[in-house]
A and B are shown apart, each in its own frame.
Chain A
Amino acid sequence: MVKTKTLVKVILIGVIEMSNRMGAQALYDWLQAIGERLGEMEGKGMEGVKCGDLHYEPLCPLATLLDIEHYYDVLPKSADEYPICKIDRGADKPACADIICIIHHAYLRKRAELAGKKFFHLAAKSPTTGEIVFNEEAIKAVGKNKDEIKALMEEKAVCVFMYK
């Protein structure tokens, strides 16, 4: 039976197929294009809970929709490497290389751009591995203290970002 979450599996299988056929860079570009198109469709906007000049997500809206951790289990073991892309580092890049973070970053950045703002992804907790990753270049670029972001991540956030 096709279940409510079948589309989640479709997305994951799509990721694997894209990577197998076209390689890691193509996968990254594809995920980014998806995020940007989503952002264009939504239009200008700023997201997350405001905390001073920082914004954060208390839970990842995409990971919540996808339930990716659960459905990741049902995929073949060889899929292990796919949720994490190889990405370049940089202030304008996603903090985390998880496929969800890449889409979400591109989406948030595009919406910010449409609102006339620059978007910086400062830290994220990988929805797949649970690891907290900081974007040192972005933190430096916005002139924030890493400890402040770390405290926010440890206390209540899964993703911290900033608009300038």
Chain B
Amino acid sequence: MNEKKADKLYRHSITVIKENQHKNGGFYASPPGTRYPYIYTRDHSIIALGALEAGLLKEVRRALEFILAAQKPSGEFSQRYDTDGVDTSYKDLQIDGNGLVLFALGKYYEVTKDDELCLEYWDVVKKAVEYILRHKNDEIDLIHTLNSIHEYPAYEHGFEIFANAACCAGIFEAVKIGKALDKDVREWEKEAKKVKNAIMMRLWSPRLRSFIKNIRIKHQNSKPLGYDPYASVVTDVDAAEYAPAYFGLIDDEDIRVVSTARRIHRALWDEELGGLNRYPEYWGRNNGGYGPWPHFTLQLARHFINIGDEDMAERYLSWCVEIAYEYLLPEHISTIERFEFWLESYQNANILTDKKLVMIEGIKQHPKWKDGFAYVTTPLIWPHAEYIRTYNLWLRTFR
């Protein structure tokens, strides 16, 4: 790996994160004037984790204050907000957002022991946990969601692994904070343990030796679940199946994580471009052309670092360093041919929206287009946060 470049990308990632925090505390998902100039709860929380890793404690506090204050009356955190914390969602419930906010707050608290912030927002924490638990199905002990990390209900509506891991880990973090603040959180702990057990049992396939994506169920309260109109299981490989380890519910060295990561690598490593795809191409929602995503590549890089596989860790990490254009990371990259194939399919199906036309313009105007690459949404801030977290871990482990 070009370590000089890797180091420069680390420094630049910190700058990118700082520059993309609005004065009100929200982290843009992508800079103003680009594709996602809003504060998306999921991206915002993960960017806060990246900022925390970089030691930007004041920035993280502001980010947490922003998002905690933006909670909806029901206890839900929206898909996205404007810079004033006003809900501007256009998608249905994404309950992993609740888990991620609690998870980020817990990690911040672990570092700072900021009792003042947690006490001030304790009611918000309480409502966030209760909101998650209202979506728990007691027959299966898993959390029901309509969307998750890919915002793709066709594969995520039901009891999905990323949402469940995020919510479960989020409640555990709330429990830790609650205990430190002398609150009675025994019931939450009991419920979180149930969800964790259910993830390990129901979202694990011994035959595939892998965590699986989703138990597809339409209605949270279908009882018995077997009669639900969607009742089925999605066992397709998805980078999100690494979520139980990503959220610390299980160690990276655990054989279940090792074999899940192996399956993800075999199925989703892009042989033509390098890097990790997020899910199989045939799922069909490949905006801008099918191709690898830096932030999923970096998540799995951390797995390889954690199990001491230096070669694989470097293969994953260095790919991100190499594809960064002027030290900026895109959402994902693709080839011109794949881009054209995607465009044709969306045009023929008459599902090309205005927002996609803006994205297409951005892809074609990117300097890498002339080299034969489609760079989709550059920069996306999320991969910069993942890069900070991964590069630091790599340095600590191997240098």
Q: Check if B151 is an interface residue, CB within 8 A of chain A.
A: no
CB of B346, distance to nearest CB on chain A (Å): 15
Q: Given A49-B354, A156-B354: A40 and B73 within 8 A (CB)? A: yes
Verify if A150 is at the interface (C-beta below 8 Å from B).
no
**Chain B positions 69-101 with a Cβ under 8 Å from a chain A Cβ:** 72-74, 78, 82, 84, 86-90
Decide if A45 touches B87 in the complex (CB within 8 Å). Answer: yes
Query: B residues within 8 A CB of A43?
Result: 72-74, 87
Number of A-B pairs, beta carbon distance below 8 Å: 33
Most buried by A among B82, B86, B89, B229: B86
Other-chain contact of B72, A42, A47, A49, A58 (Cβ < 8 Å): A42
Given known pairs A41-B74, A42-B72, the reply for A47 and B354 (CB within 8 Å) is no
Interface membership of A115, Cβ < 8 A = yes
Tell me if A41 and B87 are in contact (CB < 8 A).
no
Tell me the chain A residues, 25-48 only, with Cβ under 8 Å from chain B.
40-47
Q: Are A45 and B89 in contact (CB under 8 A)?
A: yes
For residue A155, which residue of chain B has the nearest CB? B354
Mark A103-145 against chain B: 1 for CB-CB distance below 8 A, else 0. Answer: 0000000010001000000000000000000000000000000
What's the Cα separation between A111 and B73 when bound, in Å?
12
Write out the residue numbers on chain B whose beta carbons fall within 8 Å of the beta carbon of A42.
Answer: 72-74, 87
List chain A residues, Cβ under 8 A from B354.
49, 156
Say yes or no: B72 contacts A46, CB within 8 Å.
no
**Least CB distance, A137 to chain B, in whole angstroms:** 26
Q: Which residues of A contact B84 (CB under 8 A)?
A: 115
Please name all residues of chain A whose beta carbon is closer than 8 Å to the beta carbon of B82 when the two chains form the complex.
46
Indicate if the CB atoms of B74 and A45 lie closer than 8 Å.
no
CB distance from A153 to the nearest CB of B (A): 15
Complex interface bits, B285-304 against A, C-beta within 8 A gives 1, otherwise 0: 00000000000000000000
Contact of B86 among A4, A41, A44 (CB under 8 A): A44
Within 8 A of B (CB), among A44-102: 44-47, 49, 58
Q: In the assembled complex, which residues on chain A have CB atoms less than 8 Å from the CB atom of B86?
A: 44-46, 115
A-B pairs with the 8 shortest C-beta distances? A45-B87, A43-B72, A115-B86, A43-B73, A44-B86, A46-B88, A46-B86, A45-B86
Q: Can you give 22 A-B contacts (C-beta < 8 A)? A: A4-B229, A40-B73, A41-B74, A42-B72, A42-B74, A42-B87, A43-B72, A43-B74, A43-B87, A44-B86, A44-B87, A45-B78, A45-B87, A45-B88, A45-B89, A46-B82, A46-B88, A47-B90, A49-B354, A49-B355, A58-B353, A111-B87
